[in-house]
Chains A and B, each alone.
Chain A
Amino acid sequence: MLHELSRRQFLKAAGAGVAGSAVAALGFGGAEEALAQAVRPFKLARTTETRNTCPYCSVACGVIMYSLGDKSKNAHPAVIHIEGDPDHPTNRGTLCPKGSALLDFVHSETRTKVPQYRGPGEKAFRQISWNEALDRIARLMKDDRDKNFIAKNQDGQTVNRWLTTGFLAASATTNETAFLTYKVVRSLGVLAFDNQARV
Chain B
Amino acid sequence: MGRYFIRRLWQTIPTLAGVILLVFILFNLFGGDPAAILAGKIVSPERIATIREQLGLNEPLWVQLWIFVKQVMTFDFGDSWSTGESVADIISQKAPVSLTIMVQVWLLDAIVSISLAVAVAYRRGSLTDRAVMGICTAAMSISLLLYVVIGQYVLGYTLDLFPVLGWSDSLWTNLTTYAPLPVFLLLLVSIAPSLRLYRTFIVEETTHDYVRTARAKGASENRVMFVHVLRNALIPIMTNMAMQLPGLFVGSFVIESVFSIPGLGKEIVAAVLRSDFPVIKAITIYLAILTMLVNLLVDLLYSWLDPRVQLK
The answer to whether A and B interact is: no
